[in-house]
Amino acid sequence: MNQTTTIILADDHSLVRDGIRALLETEVDLQVIGEASNGKEAIALVNEKQPDLLIIDIRMPEMNGIDAVQILNEKQHPVKTIILSMHDSEEYILKSVNAGANGYLLKDTDKTEFIKAIHTVTQGGKYFSGDISNVLVNNLLNPIKETPQTSKKKSFDGHPFDLTNKELRVLELVLSGLTNKQISEKLANSKRTIETHRFNLMRKMEVKNLMDLSKKAQEFKLV
């Protein structure tokens, strides 16, 4: 008989936690033993219940998932951790890895891959799905070299758009005239991922076409 893997879920949306719990409890060897709505609660529950695995969202009140994972790793807690997020931005992924996460999954991951990731991580491995693995490989093979110009761009806070580094990179490539397919090949992401980034750029910058996007990017010195 397989040993039961005990799990803590951390997400600030109870419906999300309910859905994940329902999915996991269809597996006889997985047991959810606690739920948290922020990073601080997650750390407290992990210390109290000593689970095998913590599945945690990134963006939560009080303390985000990446900080919680980092604190647990700094304290050398034996719990394994999987970041579960709707964000596939390079910035979030690399921060999660640097914090010590054992895995990173997107919330639209199907059940088969979700269960596979849990088993891989609890058995001592790492699991980063699809596009996320491509981001990590691309970052290792092509590390970003900072120049005074890119450093200035990263630290620039004179715009109200809250763009991630990945979105800024996609913006630069979009305005250079590349298609979604060309950008996806250059950044080692799927075409769907690039389309999502473009949609988010348009939404955050409140523009409806490429011409307005270019004008606003130049106005705020984003490129």
- pLDDT, tens digit, 9 for 90 and up, residues 146-162: 444 444 344 334 566 77
Instruction: Determine the 3-state secondary structure of 98 from DSSP.
Output: helix
β-bridge mates for residue 5, sequence order: 30
Strands 53-56 and 80-85: parallel
Mean pLDDT of all residues belonging to the chain: 84
Q: What is the token pair recorded at 37?
A: 């709505």
Ramachandran area for residue 38 (φ above 0: left; ψ -120 to 50: alpha; else beta)? beta
> For the chain, which domains are there?
5-138 (3.40.50.2300), 148-219 (1.10.10.10)
User: 96 or 45, which is more confident?
Assistant: 45
CB atoms within 10 A of CB 61: 10
Dihedral of CA 89/16/107/120: which sign?
Answer: positive
**Residue 34 pLDDT more than 50?**
yes
Task: Give the pLDDT band of residue 145 (cuts 50, 70, 90).
Answer: very low
The pLDDT score that the predictor gives to residue 2 is 63
Compute the average pLDDT of residues 169-195. 86
Quote the CA–CA distance of 68 and 88 in Å, as a whole number: 19
Quote the CA–CA distance of 89 and 93 in Å, as a whole number: 6
Question: Which of these ranges, 46-60, 109-123, 133-147, has the smallest mean pLDDT?
Answer: 133-147
Most confident of 111-125, 152-166, 188-202, 205-219: 111-125
Q: How many residues does the chain have?
A: 223
List all residues 6 or more positions away from 79 whose beta carbon is below 8 Å from its beta carbon: 8, 46, 50, 51, 52, 53, 54, 72
Compute the average pLDDT of residues 6-22. 95
Question: Which of these ranges, 58-62, 122-126, 134-138, has the smallest mean pLDDT?
Answer: 134-138
pTM for the structure as a whole: 0.64
